[in-house]
Amino acid sequence: MNKIFKQIVLLTCITAIYSSCENVDFGDTNENPNGPTSAVTSQLLTEAQKDISTITTSTTGILYMQHLTQGQYPGDSRYATLTFSYDDYYTGAIMNLNEIISLNEDESTMEEASAYGDNDNQIATAKLVRAFILHYMTDSWGGLPWEEAFQGVDNAQPAFNTQEEIYDILFTEIDEALAMIDETASGPEGDLMFDGDMSRWIVFANSLKMTAALRLSDVNATLAQSKFEEVIASGNYIQSNDENIEFNYASDDASDSPWEDRFETREDYILSEEMVESLRSNLDPRLFKYAEPATDSIVSNPAWPDESDAAYVGAPDGAVNGNTPDYSFPTATIIYDPVYPTPVYTAAQTKFAMAEAALRGWSVGSDTATLFAEAITASMEYWDVDSADITDYLSSHTSATLEDIAYEKWVALYLNGPEAWAEWRRLDAPTLIPSEYAGDPRIPVRLAYDSSVEDNNKDNYDAIIAIQGTDDLHTNLWWDVN
């Protein structure tokens, strides 16, 4: 009886407490008066733009292209990673950019969004960052879910667009953005790239357009030429190193250079033998700018008369190069300076593209030989090579064939892995010997889809594989036909 009585009392107390709480109005106690009531587009843009740095400093293409190799742990230099995921781009940056566009297009939210910059300029900027990321993704994987993607539970298994279709989408996106830009109106807040300077976004758009156009030169020469010449006719493209597009960093740990972070506690990356010996054999003064002297070894075959290159030592690609002081590290300005900027598009890159376009007979306002020399000069000046050394190098490198352009572009794109890898695949030059230590001694020509793609979207996965070929590292992309 006593136990029953205690249970009745406890139940009565609980009922009383619940009843007293049920009618209490806490007002705005749980609301943060300083918190945003809607998405802040400036913050969304800042977060999305960080992926530009993530892409341009990605080590995958750098290692494939033998700009660098690895020390004690050479797995990636041996092509050991067999599948790659693009999920982070879809769920991170692209979702942020889609939200920016939506908030600035929707009549119910565009006025509030305009507090962070002109609506059209925000949309244009978001489209261009999204196009940059899409260009990288399609040149890595090929076909992608795009036009049917981003619908959540309404379409959890979106169809893939082919790479050919994605390139059409890319050009549409870029041209739409260019048409929307108003240089007289306010640019977007939160803009890490250009601090809202829309004239610079025009140059960014045309750099992306020029790069994408040239990529199609072997599969759709008519479209490639048309889009490329549109950029030249506009006059808004990088013409000198003063106009280079770079990603700039801050000195705090959250915003500093990825390269400085990589060398903060480890020494995993060293110059590859292929890169060092290519520069040495050509008496290329960029050797002394790209690398630091090794501390524990010298080469037996110095090429400079004063043997000043003796301590510049490259490592065998894909070997276990455990004693990294035997080899040259990338230059200290890159690996030890937290704010050293990362090139995205440069004058050298632009001039090499124009040189190739001139060789193909496209209208670019100059001839191949002139543009080729200007491209090499721009590359060397960017790296602070002495003018006399530039003159000497140019005097002994006057040939400007497509193979010459491909080689010099490979050198000039040092540490720009995605672009160096894409151009090597397209041009099939320079000749690179796959790592002898790789289980499959073939340099990859694409990234294979993560296994989750097939697991979660099998019918559409099977459909894109049927179009573009086996899902591995060695199936050529649509534009890689040579």
- What is the token pair recorded at 276? 């060092």
Among the residues of 383-416, which ranges form H helices? 387-395, 402-412
The amino acid at residue 201 is W
pLDDT at 37: 52
Does residue 333 belong to any structural domain of this protein?
no
Question: Rounded to whole angstroms, how far apart are CA atoms 189 and 213?
Answer: 30
pLDDT at 15: 45
- What is the token pair recorded at 166? 């994605």
Residues 47 and 188 in one domain: yes
pLDDT at 33: 52
Does residue 355 belong to any structural domain of this protein?
yes
Structural domain that includes position 188: 41-196+445-468
Residues 180 and 141 in one domain: yes
CATH code at 192?
1.25.40
Does residue 137 belong to any structural domain of this protein?
yes
**Residue after which a domain boundary falls, among 377, 394, 427:** 427
Residues 464 and 371 in one domain: no
Does residue 206 belong to any structural domain of this protein?
no
For the chain, residues with pLDDT lower than 70 are 1-38
Alpha carbon of 270 to those of 10, 80, 150, 275: distances in Å? 72, 18, 40, 11
Count how many domains the chain has.
2
Are 61 and 420 contacting, i.e. CB atoms less than 8 angstroms apart? yes
Question: Rounded to whole angstroms, how far apart are CA atoms 402 and 149?
Answer: 39
- What is the token pair recorded at 143? 């076909």
DSSP state of 92: I
Does residue 440 belong to any structural domain of this protein?
no
pLDDT at 39: 80
Residues 157 and 278 in one domain: no
Residues 148 and 69 in one domain: yes
pLDDT at 44: 98
Residues 358 and 459 in one domain: no
In the block, which residue shows the tokens 């990825």?
258
CATH code at 393?
1.20.120.840
Are 162 and 462 contacting, i.e. CB atoms less than 8 angstroms apart? no
Does residue 186 belong to any structural domain of this protein?
yes
Residues 397 and 464 in one domain: no
The pairs formed by 29-37 with CB atoms below 8 angstroms and a separation of 24 or more are none
Residues 423 and 449 in one domain: no
Does residue 56 belong to any structural domain of this protein?
yes
pLDDT at 89: 98
Are 426 and 479 contacting, i.e. CB atoms less than 8 angstroms apart? yes
Residues 288 and 188 in one domain: no
Residues 450 and 409 in one domain: no
User: Hey, which bits of 213-290 come out as E strands?
Assistant: 245-247, 269-271
Question: Rounded to whole angstroms, how far apart are CA atoms 44 and 459?
Answer: 33
Does residue 212 belong to any structural domain of this protein?
no
Residues 388 and 463 in one domain: no
Residues 306 and 182 in one domain: no
Strand partners, 129: none
